[in-house]
Amino acid sequence: MMRPTSALAAVLATALILGPGPAIAAKPPALPKAVEPGAVNPLWHDGKIKNYLPYMSWPEVAALLKKTDMVIIPVGAMEQHGLGGPIGTDYLNGTQRALLIAQQTDVLVAPILLPGQSPYHAEFPGTITLSSETVERVYFEAAQSLIKQGFRRFLFLNSHGGNVATTDFIVDRINQETPAVAVELGAAAELMQQPAPAAGPAKPRVFDRHAGVNETANSLYLTPGLYDQSVARAATLSYPPHLAAMVPQVLNGDRAANLVFLAEALKQKSTGKQTSTREMSDTGAWSVLDPKTATADMGRRDNEAFVASAVAFINRWKALRPNGVN
């Protein structure tokens, strides 16, 4: 496959790197005594956040390296998320989850790119999509920079389904070609999840994926104030007939049907499959549920469970290999 030039990768890494600051700070930072009121940017509301690379000085990074050689790299996207969802949902939510983890166990959080691979959303204004070759090269070269500085364990936290194959490839390249070791943190956290206690009869499964109730709930918890529920509504979905016939089987847990369904659904318009998001959804959401029913408390429960599992895995890895990779 053709690879983008180093110059292109450098431009992308400069132009698309490190987006808006996170929203988890409890209060704005105290102003230096010498600063007069009104003499600072009125839009700035972030406080200092532990282990967040964009906010750290190099001595702070050097000090963290003495305690840990671990890095979480969120892998997100810049794509439409229905009528009320921010374009940066995947990037922002992934970064926020990583930061919540880093408050409980020492690990650097190093976001690299805002966009990912979202060609099937490209018919909606605001979506930015990159090729798999570009995404892979930028993340791999960013990891190489950190490896040269002494970081040896990488946890890629993918928050966008379209990045799965590319993230797996980046992880494999790091493991095969460098002295470092990498894993995908979502899969790793899943290993540590505790089974939920039974809470009455199982609820019937419903189709709720991109920009649906679950993802909206996560946004309401992780980035409060960015999702506009006042304009949200349930989407009208349409599929090619053979895919529509598979939906009940997918919801019933048929893994073969799910594999075939996802192989064909959500593909860019140029493939002719008639499954780009614009062709399947009038709002851009891929869900039969109304996002207005999502709550921040639903998102809190989901994220607290994930963060606990991720922290458990990271601490287990630290116990298995306290000094990282020699």
**CA–CA separation, 291 and 230 (whole Å):** 10
pTM as predicted:
0.87
Question: Which stretch of DSSP H or E encloses residue 308?
Answer: helix 296-320
pLDDT, tens digit (0-9, with 9 covering 90-100), for 121-165: 999 999 999 999 999 999 999 999 999 999 999 999 999 999 999
Question: pLDDT class for 36, splitting at 50, 70, 90?
Answer: confident
All structural domains of the chain, each given as residue ranges with its CATH number in brackets, are: 50-195+302-320 (3.40.50.10310), 213-299 (no CATH)
Average pLDDT over residues 166-180: 98
DSSP one-letter string for 230-274: GG--PPPB---HHHHTTHHHHHTT-HHHHHHHHHHSS--GGGSSS
Q: How many CB atoms lie under 10 A from the CB of residue 257?
A: 17
Range 66-81 burial, b when 16+ CB lie within 10 A, else e: eebbbbbbbbbbbbbb
Question: Which residues touch 319 (CB under 8 Å, ≥6 apart)?
Answer: none
DSSP one-letter string for 21-59: PPS--SSPPPPPTTSPTT-S-TT------TTBGGG--HH
